Amino acid sequence: MVTRRLALADQEEAVLLFGQHDRNLKEIERRFNVQIFVRPSDRIDEGGLTLAVRGRPKPVEQALSTLEEMKRHAARSRQHGAPLSLLEVPAAGVPGGPVPAGAILVTVTGQPLRPQSATQEAYVQAIRQRDLVVGIGPAGSGKTYLAVASAVAALERGDVNRVVLTRPVVEAGEKLGFLPGDFYEKVHPYLKPLYDAFHAMVGAERFRLWREEEIIEIIPLAYMRGRTLDDAFVLLDEAQNTTAEQMKMFLTRLGNRSRMVVTGDVTQIDLEKKATSGLVQVQDVLSGVEGVEFVRFSESDVVRHPLVRRVIAAYDAWEHRRKEA
């Protein structure tokens, strides 16, 4: 459950917006299955009011969008002094609109987001059907992006109440101690790809609001210990850089009515001892476990620049020659 607020300029705007006997507010509560509370604003001296809308994330955003549209109509109605009828105002939805068949969601720019290969389609279906999915494959194959899209879709459908995304903080090149800023500023570059994915799908403003309401939480893996995550979509990204102990710790955070996705590339392990990677070990540990599905991507699933596929193929061939030498 989340609460969002909408400020009203004055009592006159409130009268126009609410309708006779608060008919408009009652209709919005019924239409979107939310609760609306009227509170004095912080600037009581000016007679302003604040509407607090409470409910599940998607209905709350729909109700807020409708109220904002009504405010615009109310501004025009003030010239005539006539009450505003909700029936005259089209119900507004969240950015993106209805999801076409075969798409995961519609992005903030109105583009349907669909899997681009058979493996990606199998991956998305597995996320919908399984409690734990492990996606393994090369960079650019859509592992993280499709998992984030699936998380947003699950949140908007009301399947989960929140999304928790995490990554291990592994030093590759620069040491954390030499980077400027406090701890959160130091780990921000590690989590930036997750921010970018959300910005592309729901927009920066909506993402910011979700973070403020703690509907979305993006944290380093070290902060997961001791937690139980209920009613959540949980994503562990860059899992090849977890140790075996970290992987076990993460997997045991799964709570009731939750699902997990683990993504990583076993060819890009930054740990000093690559054999200790939790992503490498988990393939043996969880093989055949009911409710767990492994999806393996290849260079044919890469959807970045065409050259990326050739780079990956060249490295694979080089590694194969080195092992044979």
Alpha carbon separation from 22 to 65, 83, 179, 218 (Å, rounded): 18, 11, 56, 40
* Average pLDDT, integer, range 147-151: 94
Look at residue 220 in the predicted model and tell me its pLDDT.
84
pLDDT band at 43 (very low <50, low <70, confident <90, very high): low
Rounded to whole angstroms, the Cα distance separating 209 from 214 reads 8
Look at residue 117 in the predicted model and tell me its pLDDT.
92
Rounded to whole angstroms, the Cα distance separating 28 from 33 reads 8
Exposed e or buried b per residue across 299-313, where buried means at least 16 C-beta atoms within 10 angstroms of its C-beta: bebbbeeeebbebbe
By mean pLDDT, which of 98-107, 159-168, 181-190, 192-201 is the weakest?
Answer: 181-190
- DSSP codes of every residue in 75-113: HHHTTTTPPPPGGGSPPP--TT-SPPTT-SEE-TTS-EE
Look at residue 20 in the predicted model and tell me its pLDDT.
74
Rounded to whole angstroms, the Cα distance separating 131 from 121 reads 17
Backbone angles phi, psi at 49, to 5 degrees: -130, 160
Cβ 14 vs Cβ 34: under 8 Å: no
Rounded to whole angstroms, the Cα distance separating 32 from 25 reads 11
Does the pLDDT value for residue 77 go beyond 90? Answer: no
203 or 152, greater pLDDT:
152
Question: For a pLDDT cut of 90, what percent of the chain falls above it?
Answer: 32
Of the ranges 62-71, 171-180, 301-310, which is most confident? 62-71
Look at residue 92 in the predicted model and tell me its pLDDT.
39
- DSSP codes of every residue in 248-316: HHHHTTB-TT-EEEEEE-TT---SSSGGGBHHHHHHHHTTT-TTEEEEE--GGG--S-HHHHHHHHHHH
Look at residue 80 in the predicted model and tell me its pLDDT.
56
Q: Which own/partner contact pairs does 171-175 have at CB distance under 8 Å and 24+ positions apart?
A: 171/270, 172/270
Rounded to whole angstroms, the Cα distance separating 54 from 35 reads 5
Does the pLDDT value for residue 15 go beyond 70? Answer: yes
Of the ranges 14-18, 116-120, 166-170, 194-198, which is most confident? 116-120
Look at residue 323 in the predicted model and tell me its pLDDT.
80
The chain-wide mean pLDDT, for the chain, equals: 81
Which residues face 49 on adjacent strands? 8, 40
The number of residues making up the chain comes to 325
pLDDT band at 188 (very low <50, low <70, confident <90, very high): low
pLDDT tens track for 79-111:
655 555 544 444 433 444 567 888 998 887 778
Question: For a pLDDT cut of 70, what percent of the chain falls above it?
Answer: 83
- The residues of the chain that CATH labels 3.30.1370.10 are 2-88
Look at residue 93 in the predicted model and tell me its pLDDT.
39
Does the pLDDT value for residue 272 go beyond 90? Answer: no
CATH class of 2-88: alpha beta
User: Which pair of structure tokens corresponds to residue 141?
Assistant: 């194959």
259-264 and 292-296 strand pairing: unpaired
Does the pLDDT value for residue 322 go beyond 80? Answer: yes
pTM (predicted TM-score): 0.68
Cβ 50 vs Cβ 67: under 8 Å: no
Q: How many Å separate Cα 270 from the centre of its chain?
A: 26
pLDDT band at 316 (very low <50, low <70, confident <90, very high): confident
In the chain the first and final C-alpha atoms are separated, in Å, by 60
- The residues of the chain that CATH labels 3.40.50.300 are 105-324
21 or 55, greater pLDDT:
55
* CATH fourth-level superfamily of 105-324: P-loop containing nucleotide triphosphate hydrolases (3.40.50.300)
pLDDT tens track for 18-40:
877 787 888 888 778 888 888 87
Look at residue 186 in the predicted model and tell me its pLDDT.
58
Look at residue 94 in the predicted model and tell me its pLDDT.
42
